[in-house]
């Protein structure tokens, strides 16, 4: 019996030790689910504060309650470490590290290559390596396979390699991790089988595709689809602004069509680790093949200009009352990239605040999910959403519409509101002059 056949039996018996590199928004929920399924799990991270929190049975993510961590930790099924030498003891290694863009919007695979180097130094026969971080098509085949085969081991014979894109949606209460089908693509058919068996224990459905490249493309298609459609509706919002139309009314009416229309909403820009970034990974890859991804590039351009459009609208609203942005007291409501989460990665609020500060505005923000925010080296601390703060504001800008904010109260206490999320829909205008994107 080969070592990979032995691994298959260990996976079926839930005796295989699962390793997870990167214990952030993707890695920690995955590690917890594997532990709850009965596997022994070792999580790896360079952040010692995260390691200490997990060892104490705590959690630093809103989507992962401390109780879900404490139990498997107490039972010895979940452990966290910064000692990457312990990768050698893992039978399955999941790579869940960040894949950001550089300042020139090229893929930054430095986190991937560091994780890959740690694996390469310890890889042994009978291990399965699964890449979950979003990246360009070909990463598994062109980067992982050559580096791991430098050890003399052969993929599909001595070790297995697969790609299984993460589909985490922070703050989503409707779809838990195991309810979202898991897409898997193996470097060889056996690699795909082993990865599918691994995930069948924690996901209700596993969808196997023909290759790692196909699985990589699946994730990019999902988020490119969203980015392009958001870009379209953002451009419609700009059109409606020029035409003097209410874009929210137009979208609501169009959404009544029972077929052929999918509802997307405009906003102050794109945020999060996926939608603003993933399309650029695909466009970058296609450039190397002398192919211009024109839809992607146009959507990126439109979405990137939305924070500046918001700031321009703020200036127009203040100008109507002979006020300038310079010196105006502007309160930003919500700085997370989406409602009811603490994640500020790529949040459009950061660019809005930067542009306002550049114009001399006195900016404060309220977001109980985010106690502190750094913008261009300046550190802002969250303010309480008090009556005094609202009454002192020249303008309140709703950038992220957290569900627990009383927007009716905001309208009653504020002189002017610019609402980029339609959070004030249906609220009468007793005092505030409410303008929407």
Residues with active-site annotation: 274
Q: How far apart are CA 165 and CA 312, in angstroms?
A: 38
Residues in a beta bridge with 333:
366, 398
Q: Which of 326, 358, 4, 325 is nearest to 156 (CA)?
A: 4
Tokens encoding 191: 């690699």
Q: How far apart are CA 271 and CA 305, in angstroms?
A: 13
Q: How far apart are CA 218 and CA 130, in angstroms?
A: 16
Locus of tokens 């790896």 = 44
Q: How far apart are CA 285 and CA 290, in angstroms?
A: 9
């Amino acid at each position: 019996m080969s070592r990979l056949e032995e691994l298959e039996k260990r996976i079926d018996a839930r005796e295989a030790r699962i390793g997870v590199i990167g214990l952030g928004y993707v890695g920690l929920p995955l590690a917890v689910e594997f532990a709850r399924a009965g596997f022994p799990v070792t999580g790896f991270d360079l952040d010692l504060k995260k390691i200490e929190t997990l060892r104490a049975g705590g959690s630093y993510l809103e989507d992962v309650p401390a109780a879900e961590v404490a139990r498997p930790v107490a039972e010895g099924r979940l452990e966290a470490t910064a000692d990457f030498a312990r990768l050698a003891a893992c039978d399955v290694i999941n790579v869940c590290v960040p894949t950001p863009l550089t300042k020139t919007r090229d893929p930054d695979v430095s986190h991937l290559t560091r994780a890959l180097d740690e694996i390469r130094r310890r890889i042994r026969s009978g291990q399965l390596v699964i890449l979950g971080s979003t990246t360009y098509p070909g990463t598994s085949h062109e980067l992982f396979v050559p580096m791991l085969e430098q050890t003399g081991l052969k993929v599909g014979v001595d070790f297995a390699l697969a790609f299984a894109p993460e589909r985490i949606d922070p703050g989503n209460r409707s779809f838990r991790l195991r309810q979202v089908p898991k897409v898997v693509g193996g470097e060889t058919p056996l690699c795909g089988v082993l990865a599918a068996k691994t995930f069948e224990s924690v996901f209700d459905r596993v969808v196997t595709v023909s290759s790692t490249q196909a699985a990589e493309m699946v994730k990019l298609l999902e988020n490119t689809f969203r980015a392009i459609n958001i870009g379209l509706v953002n451009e419609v919002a700009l059109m409606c602004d020029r035409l003097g139309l209410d874009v929210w009314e137009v979208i609501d009416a169009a959404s009544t069509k029972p077929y052929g229309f999918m509802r997307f909403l405009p906003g102050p820009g794109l945020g999060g680790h996926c939608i603003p970034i993933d399309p650029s990974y695909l466009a970058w890859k296609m450039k190397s093949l002398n192919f211009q991804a024109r839809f992607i590039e146009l959507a990126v351009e439109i979405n990137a200009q939305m924070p500046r459009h918001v700031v321009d609208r703020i200036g127009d609203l203040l100008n109507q009352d002979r006020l300038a942005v310079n010196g105006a007291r502007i309160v930003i409501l919500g700085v997370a990239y989406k409602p009811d989460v603490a994640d500020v990665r790529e949040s459009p609020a950061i660019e809005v605040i930067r542009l306002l500060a550049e114009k001399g505005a006195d900016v404060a923000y309220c977001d109980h999910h985010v106690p502190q925010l750094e913008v261009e080296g300046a550190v802002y601390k969250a303010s309480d959403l008090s009556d005094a703060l609202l009454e002192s504001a020249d303008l309140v800008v709703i950038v992220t519409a957290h569900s627990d904010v009383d927007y009716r109260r905001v309208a009653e206490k504020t002189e002017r509101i610019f609402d980029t999320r339609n959070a004030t829909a249906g609220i009468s205008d007793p005092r505030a002059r409410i303008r929407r994107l």
